[in-house]
Structure 1
């Protein structure tokens, strides 16, 4: 840890812990450099081959009269966030990614969405369902039962929560926000199932968490969830994460996708509305059982319209076997 009288800056001292991230934060600590990125972003068109901005035009847009000082800041960005070409300067992909994060809502005032009832019934008890937004998450809660999860950060009745950026609230009703959050969450977890972090492209650790003292009568006090088995995804690079039920992983498998499709229900297409989400949740019934403790093997059974499809999964969530309907 850096001492109070150390000449080393706190940000530099943190470099050992976060690697090049500290350098990036320090590089972007200048208002002028941020203004350069914004100006280049404003000139950027993904379908235009000519996105470069000349030095003089860029300096005038940023509002600096001292060309020497402006060149100093521009050179600091060039190579990582900005690319220099004969025609001028333009953003490189890391620069575009940074500005996208800001536009999506990072660091700006969060929107508010009070508890709002949506056109959905709780699949556990049939009660009314409400959604609200808090601290970057869209929460989905039942007003009548304990829900699926006992999360200290969520209220009683917690059914699900999805990460959602403030930009996603524009021109959307509560129903539309929930549906959009659902789509974003499943695309996020699909990438993690494939072992690729959707945030930083790092490798993802996949695991199966079991509760040995599980109480099946409701939300278990030991593990804080209704099901004894939970899948976990964690990126060791950027620490992005996700969790879900066994059914989430099983329904990603092509055999499950085909099974549902044959019964007139699509899993990975056309679910950007509450009615489609309702149809998916109400018609499909999922159950899990442990087949073997060592090695851990779990059978997930999907039931739909009187037919059943079963998939056997290993502890690392690999599908070992598929049992087609009889």
Structure 2
């Protein structure tokens, strides 16, 4: 359920450092913004001459200084073509990060109603934004429903677009549940871990986590069994039959994904666990083995 990233890339740390070095320079950042803004405006990848690009940045730097910083970007983020310069795909990715405000710091703390009640104590759950992180937690019993990086586009001073936060959180977790790192596209590793081995876990109310980690970029997620099984088509169909769209409903509003009350560890030798999902008078039971593969489904 966590969106925290603890790991680090194994082989590409230097390239990541280069990216931060580049965006730390105002002239290079202006060049990336100028090329990126032009593409957004024109709907295609435009080409600018040296003078046109310099004019679009509105920089006071002389030609030599501007050219120095431009050439620092050429090859990795900007491409030199016959008629001038255009943005490479890598530059567009960096531009999108800049435009989204991902590098911006936020000093204020903001707490809003999460619009659902705690499944354990009935208290209204709250969402708190603090230093770039959204924490969804019950103030009554302290159960943590989710913690994630705050999407900059969903936060404005004293307002949080919680629906957008939920969709962003859902997208990132579902990607990992389906076996795709949402940061770099690599297939993440998978293992089951005990709540006792997860610092933020509630060992008294959680049975297990499905831990997925990307060895390429270091991104990682701790998923509940219910969240992990959202990739199962039978579960999605069962929920849809009862009017629940698991792709648009925030994870913390899906009880079987938000808490482990419907998870049982059935055996240890060999290890098996069951997720039970009930709507109206129907129940779907999904059994997974020690490799977290579905081995049985029962519909009653």
Query: One fold, TM greater than 0.5?
Result: yes
Do structure 1's residue 51 and structure 2's residue 46 form an aligned pair? Answer: yes
Superposed CA deviations along residues 246-301 of structure 1, whole A, max 9, x for unmatched, are: 111223310000001111211113x37xxx975x4499996122233244322211
Does 2:121 correspond to 1:125?
Answer: yes
Distance, in Å, in 2 between the alignment partners of 1:203 and 1:125 is 38
Specify which of 224, 227, 230 is matched with residue 248 of structure 1: 227
Question: Which residue is equivalent to 1:9?
Answer: none
Q: Tell me by how many angstroms 1:163 deviates.
A: 2.0
Distance 1:129-1:284 versus aligned 2 partners, 3 A rule: closer
Q: Could you give the per-residue CA deviations for residues 36-82 of structure 1, whole angstroms, max 9, x where no partner exists?
A: 11221221227623522221111233335643443333222112101
CA contact (8 A) 1:287 1:302 kept: yes
Paired with 1:48 and 1:65, the residues of 2 have a C-alpha distance of 29
- Structure 2: state its 5+ residue gaps: 1-9
Look up the match of 2:241: 262
Q: CA deviation at 1:170?
A: 3.7
Matched, 1:33 2:28: yes
1:234-313 alignment, distance < 5 Å: 234-269=213-248, 271=249, 278=253, 280-281=254-255, 287-313=262-288
What TM-score results when the alignment is normalised by the length of structure 1? 0.76
What is the CA–CA distance in structure 2 between the aligned matches of 1:49 and 1:221, rounded to whole Å? Answer: 45
SS in 2 for 1:100: helix
2:189 to 202, 205, 216: 205
Q: Any residues of structure 2 matched to 1:130-279 within 5 Å, and which?
A: 130-147=126-143, 158-170=144-156, 173-174=159-160, 177-210=161-194, 224=203, 226-269=205-248, 271=249, 278=253
- Residues 101 and 284 of structure 1, relative CA distance in 2, 3 Å threshold: closer
Please give the secondary structure, in 2, of the residue aligned with 1:51: coil
**Structure with greater contact order relative to length (CA < 8 Å, sep ≥ 6):** 2
Point out the structure with max Rg over C-alpha.
1
> C-alpha separation between the residues in 1 aligned to 2:107 and 2:267?
47
Aligned length: 288
On the 8 A contact 1:111/1:169 being kept in 2, the answer is no
Q: In structure 2, how many angstroms separate the alpha carbons of the residues matched to 1:238 and 1:80?
A: 18
1:59–1:65 contact (8 Å) kept in structure 2: no
* Per-residue deviation, 1:305: 1.0
Q: Which runs of 5+ in 1 are unaligned?
A: 1-14, 148-157, 214-219
Distance of aligned partners of 1:29 and 1:192 in 2 relative to their CA distance in 1, 3 Å threshold = same
Tell me the secondary structure at the aligned position of residue 44 of structure 1.
helix
CA distance in 2, matches of 1:255, 1:293: 25
Pairwise CA RMSD of aligned residues?
Answer: 3.3
Local SS of the residue matching 2:180: coil
**C-alpha separation in 2, matches of 1:125 and 1:200:** 39
